[in-house]
Amino acid sequence: MRRAWLAELWIIGGLFAAGVLIGYFAGAMPWWVAGAGVLYAAFNLRNARRYLGWVRGGLNDPPPDASGLWAEVMHQVLQERRNARDAAREADALVEQYERSVQALPDGIVILDADLYIRWSNAAAQRLIGLQDPEDRGQHIDNLLRHPEFTDYRQRGDLDRFIQIPAPTIVDRVIRVGLVPFSSGQYLLVCRDVTERVRIDRVRRDFLSNVSHELRTPITVLGGYLEMLQDATDELPDRWKRPVDAMHGQALRMRHLVDDLLLLSRMESLEQPDTREEIDIDRLAAQVREEAVALSGAREHRIELEVEAGTRVSGSVSEFRAMFSNLVRNAVQYTAEGGLIRIEWRLDEDAARFVVTDEGEGIEPEHLSRLTERFYRVDKGRSRDAGGTGLGLAIVKHALLHYDGELEIESEPGHGSRFACRFPRAIVIDSPPAPSPLAPSAPCVEGSGAVC
């Protein structure tokens, strides 16, 4: 750098000195000095022109000869260009590496623009969805992924949940597909072959339901004969009475267990309610309360019911009954004698809730997340005494899934628990039922809003 300036100064100095020297001998010194200035300017202009030509030519020709500052400028420009080239090459290598790693992913990836037109896809996506790259770039994804469930999913915009659909081009394969938004309003479509998982799930479910089914008959036969034995009081020696009672009790429990297992596997195998009918929540809740009172028996729980008359939802009666009675039965089982149990139906802007609150012993927070697992026991000894099957909450959870609902559990050890089935508001039928001329118009006297 310094050298370049020095060389430049030498040129200026030389020219000036030459001007002065010639002017000294030949006279008219100012003219000669000015002449040296003009010469210098001309020299610079010529270099500038050559330099400009070189830059315009894309720096591809060898740089023009120059000395002094111009040489330095050209040197710097060449250096910069070399750096930029290296950086670009590095960036290209990086991009290529990314592309190759995405290409190698076992999951299918399709990059979609904001309007869901295809921009790029990897090999797995091409195989699973049957895309062709690059021919399919610029197609709307709906044009090639036409399954109605995907169209629904896309239009609904509920992107958190992936969906399972049959693979469009491969026979008997199931894929899981979902959209993931990423930078600048684009989307990634992610898909994966889940055939194996779906198959294993089905085998497991079938096994469970087959086993339960096979167990049912022997248990029924055992229970029937044990009941006969119980009834034959005069023929049965006294010392056999207790064992027979106990056996009958266990046979009954086994039957409940098998029934619950069957119910659960049935619910698991469906994705939506088996039927859609109008259900009178108030009537159903009143029935469930009756059962609870019967179950409570001598333990005399106070069971309150608060459901607005005329509340109706659309769903499957058997599923709603299963949900309600399991929650209420649990409350009865885990609440001390004479304790209070409230059954309510609450409606707000976007959700409807069936709430069961008890004054039981409550549940420690570490158990809450695992309560809906099959056969999960908070306290090993306790629930067996109470006679539950250990499947109740699992049944509730699976039935709720059919309605896009959720089970909410709050509990405080020592103070009681609150179990709520939260349903989307849409299942509630809003229009009032056709008024029956026979319906009593007088308000109910007994209880708060209970059907009497």
Partner 1 sequence: MAAAEAERPSVTGRHISRKYDEALEDVRTSVLEMGGVVEEQISRSLAALAAFDSEIGERVVRDDYKINRLEVQIDEECTRIIALRQPAASDLRLVIAIIKTITDLERMGDEAEKIGRTAVRLAGNAPRRMRYAGVRNLGRHVQQMVHQALDAFARLDVEAAVAIAREDKMVDLEYAACMRELVTYMMEDPRRISEVLDMIWCARALERIADHAKNIGEYIVFLVKGKDIRHTSLEHKELQAQSEV
Choice between 101 and 143, CB closer to partner 1 = 143
In the set 72, 113, 227, 379, which binds partner 1 (CB under 8 A)? 113
In the set 136, 193, 282, 319, which binds partner 1 (CB under 8 A)? 136
Q: Are 54 and 71 in contact (CB under 8 A)?
A: no
Using CB under 8 A, which residues numbered 159 to 178 contact partner 1? Answer: 166, 168-169, 171
In the complex, least distance from residue 260 CB atom to partner 1, rounded to whole angstroms: 24
In the set 72, 133, 142, 406, which binds partner 1 (CB under 8 A)? 142
DSSP labels, 90-117: HHHHHHHHHHHHHHH-SSEEEEE-TT-B
In the complex, least distance from residue 150 CB atom to partner 1, rounded to whole angstroms: 8
For residues 179 to 218, the per-residue mask of contacts with partner 1, x marking binding by CB under 8 A and - elsewhere, is -----xx---------------------------------
In the set 1, 56, 57, 135, which binds partner 1 (CB under 8 A)? 135
Number of residues lying near partner 1 (CB under 8 A)? 27
Q: Does residue 137 touch partner 1 according to CB under 8 A?
A: yes
| Tokens coding 78 | 């060449």
Q: Does residue 139 touch partner 1 according to CB under 8 A?
A: yes
In the complex, least distance from residue 170 CB atom to partner 1, rounded to whole angstroms: 11
User: What 8-state DSSP symbol labels residue 184?
Assistant: T
In the complex, least distance from residue 153 CB atom to partner 1, rounded to whole angstroms: 12
In the complex, least distance from residue 173 CB atom to partner 1, rounded to whole angstroms: 13
Choice between 90 and 274, CB closer to partner 1 = 274
Q: Does residue 133 touch partner 1 according to CB under 8 A?
A: no
Length of the chain: 452
- Which H or E element spans position 240? helix 238-269
In the complex, least distance from residue 257 CB atom to partner 1, rounded to whole angstroms: 28
| Tokens coding 349 | 């802007």
Choice between 79 and 151, CB closer to partner 1 = 151
Ordered alpha helix ranges (H), 374-427: 380-386, 392-401
Q: Which stretch binds partner 1 (CB under 8 A): 53-61, 81-89, 114-122, 429-437?
A: 114-122
Residues 437 and 301: their CA atoms lie apart, in Å, by 36
Q: Please state, in angstroms and as integers, the Cα–Cα distance from residue 3 to each residue in 45, 79, 195, following that order.
A: 21, 18, 74
- Amino acid present at 345: W
Q: Which stretch binds partner 1 (CB under 8 A): 20-28, 42-50, 142-150, 433-441?
A: 142-150
Q: Does residue 146 touch partner 1 according to CB under 8 A?
A: yes
Q: Is the peptide bond before 424 cis (omega within 30 degrees of 0)?
A: no
Instruction: State the virtual CA torsion across 278, 284, 285, 289 in degrees, nearest 10.
Output: -170
196 Cβ neighbours under 8 A, 6+ residues apart: none
| Tokens coding 113 | 């623009």
Q: Are 7 and 73 in contact (CB under 8 A)?
A: no
Residues 57 and 59: their CA atoms lie apart, in Å, by 6
In the set 13, 14, 53, 138, which binds partner 1 (CB under 8 A)? 138
Q: Does residue 319 touch partner 1 according to CB under 8 A?
A: no
Q: Which residue has the tokens 């707000």?
A: 348
Q: Please state, in angstroms and as integers, the Cα–Cα distance from residue 178 to each residue in 256, 270, 313, following that order.
A: 40, 21, 31
Choice between 133 and 379, CB closer to partner 1 = 133
In the set 46, 75, 100, 140, which binds partner 1 (CB under 8 A)? 140
User: What 8-state DSSP symbol labels residue 221?
Assistant: H
In the complex, least distance from residue 154 CB atom to partner 1, rounded to whole angstroms: 10
Residues 51 and 251: their CA atoms lie apart, in Å, by 102
Interface contacts to partner 1, rule CB under 8 A: 113-114, 117, 119, 130, 132, 135-140, 142-144, 146-151, 166, 168-169, 171, 184-185
